[in-house]
Structure 1
Amino acid sequence: MEMRELTVVAGSFVGFQLLFSVASPLLSSAISPTYGLLPPTKHTEWNSRLVSTVHALIVGLFCLYILCFDEAVNSNPVWGDPSMVKLNVAITCGYLLYDLLLLACNWSTMGDRFFVCHHLAALYAYGYVLTRGVLPYFANFRLISELSTPFVNQRWFFEALKYPRSNRMVVVNGVAMTVVFFLVRIAVMPSYWASVFSTFGTEDFERLGSGAQVAWITSCVALDILNTIWMFKITRGCYKVLAGSKAQKGQEQAEASTRSDKKKHANNHAD
């Protein structure tokens, strides 16, 4: 890895730690007064997820910019100029290292083997992008999936604050989370893998070598399996929220109708 990439990764790692320790608690207290009432274990995960949201927005929007305007990357997906992509990947690697350390230090309350597998698979593949500058288009394409992260984190925030599942904001966020997660992680799979298969047998693909080829394909397969599992869980949760919201609405309408009937009965009796 070049000194520049090492510097960016190290800087990102330190930056996320600073954001976690300073900015997150202050911002959270300003946004939600009930933040201070949460137990310390909830504070840790809350701060972590707020940092995760900031990271996802920065990286995700940067990915869209590269996808739309970086002609060097889009014209040669395997060996195109990786400068902008490497910067984005380095920031992500810094965040992933930070998050792995946080999970290790708080495993009893925050530990999740799926997150660990996801982070390790991503770091394994992104290491080749940073060290050899290969596959910039595909690395950038994978990072677009981060755009679903803010909605996932927002669902956790609502749960931590004990918002009822029937709350309108909870329902809207749940639906948005399901739709966005599907669009940026599941619906893009055919297009992504079509681009991958189109490189097989080409000179650019052969130049990668077996190490980069294996890292690329195996990490993508692992990430897509994890995304499919998460999509199933999210869809099931969204269905439960919508079903519960519909049931509660029906109950409220029934109670309102009962109150109305009682009022009419009382008026008729008084007459």
Structure 2
Amino acid sequence: MVSLLLSSMADNVSPSKQFYWLVSVFSGIIMCTIVYKLTGIISVLCFKGYRKLSNEKKLEWNNRGFSTFHAFIASTASLYLLLLSDLFSEDYHDELIINRTSSLSETVLGISIGYFLSDLAMILWLYPALGGLEYVLHHGLSMFSIFLALVSGKAQIYILMVLFTEITTPFVNLRWYLDVAGLKSSNIYICNGVALFLGWLVARILLFIYFFVHMAIYFDQVKEIFPLGFYSLLVVPPMLAIMNVFWFWKIAKGLIRTLSKTRHSR
């Protein structure tokens, strides 16, 4: 049923557009491959301890390199499309907000699919070293939602909101890098922990609240989306929100534990 629906949507799109989507996805995969290799090369030159890491740690180290790179691209482009461009502005478009799309938004979605495919492949290959079932679920839901928005051209505003939450990823990765480098007790580790807590609160808790409020305000438009897309919007974002709250609870506990140790050590 799902495959038939996606096939019918794709049939209504020109071959050139479909080719453009494929190029965007493969660009994301190639980007991840290049950054993965560059991370290893740069790390050898800039971090002496890199050579001493086990092969598994080196794989994760490089993996987090392209994870960080994608986060910068996705969050920056999403911020531009949502706030700085006129794509979703009420003053410049008569088209329904859920139907608005652009070449840039489609490129960002395609690249992000390529990233999630690359990262999921590594997670499954090294499972569970790079992440457990929750990461597989997160990536699977993310790819499914992004793919639906890309192929249908619907609800891209909501997908871009979720992609903006990737802005917290560099803080997560820096926390891991500092831990592996033996700098868990350093001031930069503590500052990064505070930044991660605040960033997560704003981008993955408060933004999701705004997400649901926005959906409620424009629910008459949301109902116009095809059934699979409509029910996906009702199911997938709440699941991601629950995972974000769970991870936020763990981040908060870790920050409190770190600050307590720092206070007692003085």
Q: Fold-level match, TM-score > 0.5? A: yes
Contact 1:82 1:134 in 2 (8 A): no
Q: C-alpha separation between the residues in 2 aligned to 1:74 and 1:143?
A: 19
Report sequence identity in percent.
Answer: 23
Q: Offset of 1:107 from its aligned partner?
A: 1.0
Asked if 1:9 corresponds to 2:25, the answer is: yes
- Taking a change above 3 Å as real, the CA distance of residues 108 and 213 of structure 1, as seen in their structure-2 partners, is closer
The offset of 1:109, in angstroms, is: 2.3
Aligned to 2:211: 192
Of 42, 49, 52 in structure 2, the residue corresponding to residue 37 of structure 1 is 52
Q: Counterpart of 2:257?
A: 240
Would you tell me which structure has more helix in proportion to its own residues? 1
1:222 equivalent in alignment to 2:239? yes
User: Which SS does the other structure have where 1:58 is aligned?
Assistant: helix
* Structure 2: distance between partners of 1:14 and 1:39: 25
My pick for the range that moved more, 110-119 or 39-48, is 110-119
Cα distance in 2 between the residues matched to 1:139 and 1:82 = 13
Aligned equivalents of 1:169, 1:95: Cα separation in 2: 28
Aligned to 1:26: 41
Q: What is the CA distance between 1:142 and its match in structure 2?
A: 0.9
Aligned partner of 1:208 in structure 2 is 225
- How far apart are residue 115 of structure 1 and its match? 1.0
Unaligned 5+ residue runs, structure 2?
Answer: 1-9, 11-17, 91-95
Rounded to whole Å, the distance in 2 between the matches of 1:227 and 1:205 is 23
- The answer to whether the Cα contact below 8 Å between 2:35 and 2:69 also exists between their aligned partners in 1 is no
Unaligned runs of at least 5 residues, structure 1:
250-271
Distance 2:63 2:196 in 1: 19
**Partner residue of 1:59?**
74
Q: CA deviation at 1:190?
A: 2.2
Could you list the structure 1 runs, at least 4 aligned residues long, displaced by more than 4 angstroms after superposition: none
How far residue 83 of structure 1 moved from its aligned partner, in angstroms, is: 2.6
Q: TM-score w.r.t. structure 2 length?
A: 0.88
Indicate conservation of the 8 Å contact 2:35/2:65, yes or no: no
The alignment partner of 1:109 has SS state of coil
1:171-223 per-residue CA deviation (whole Å, 9 max, x = no partner) reads: 111111111111100011221111111222x2x33331211101122110111
Which residue in 2 is equivalent to 1:88?
Answer: 108
Tell me the TM-score normalized by structure 1: 0.86
Q: 1:73 and 1:136, CA in 2 relative to 1: closer, same or farther beyond 3 A?
A: farther
**1:99 corresponds to:** 119
Partner of 2:142: 122
Deviates more, 1:3-12 or 1:141-150: 3-12
- Taking the TM superposition and a 5 Å limit, the aligned residue runs for 1:137-176 are 137-163=157-183, 165-176=184-195
Shift of residue 100, structure 1, vs aligned partner: 0.6
The match for 2:6 is none
**Rg: which structure is higher?**
1
User: Quick check: 1:50 aligned with 2:69?
Assistant: no
Aligned-partner residue type, residue 212 of structure 2: W
CA RMSD of aligned residues (A): 1.4
**Given that residues 85 and 139 in structure 1 are in contact (C-alpha distance below 8 angstroms), is that contact kept between their aligned partners in structure 2?**
no
Shift of 1:48: 0.3
Determine the structure 2 residue equivalent to 1:71: 86
> Given residue 125 of structure 2, which amino acid in structure 1 is its aligned partner?
C
